[in-house]
Amino acid sequence: MLSGRIENFKEYSKFSSIKEFNNTIEIFLTDHKKHFTKGELVAFKRLVRFSAKYVGVANAKIGTLVKAINEKVNGFGVSRSTFERMLRKAKDLGIVSIVNTKKSKGGKGHNVYIFNTIDVLKKRKLKYCENQEKPCCSKDESSKFERGTSNLFRN
């Protein structure tokens, strides 16, 4: 995919309205806010704000996003590595898909960040559960494997 203006990526939007997008983000944060640090949450919320023109799609460079955060809070923002760590976590949790672009003259271009809907998140969770060979053992099964205590000082 070639890099370019945000208008080129509007077909990647998975949301019909900004309200639907905001509800999805709110539900996601309710479930997964504990996985992010304070700085990562600031970075995530800024990425969400950059995804408003075409709902759920952002194509800003990481440097631009970090600069916008730092200007907003007078230089006490987040670092590039914090932003990249947030992206890895968000991708692993399934809320964001990242598509790399290429420049027309060759080389790597900017990334396109596509937010997923709740349906995609639920399918991902179900798929993860299906891959489990055996569910965790119950209390009855775990009692079979308890070790007996021994007194080492007994003669």
Please report where in the chains the tokens 């075409």 appear, as a residue: 54
Beta bridge mates, 115? 96
User: What's the chain's Rg over C-alpha atoms?
Assistant: 22
User: Can you give 39-61 as a three-state secondary structure string?
Assistant: HHHHHHHHHHHCCCCECCEECCC
What is the overall mean pLDDT for the chain?
78
Burial degree of 122 (CB within 10 A; 0-12, 13-18, 19+):
exposed
Please report where in the chains the tokens 């349906």 appear, as a residue: 119
pLDDT digits (tens, 9 = 90+) for 129-139: 455 555 555 44
pLDDT digits (tens, 9 = 90+) for 93-104: 999 999 888 888
Amino acid 154: pLDDT: 53
Secondary structure (3-state) at 5: coil
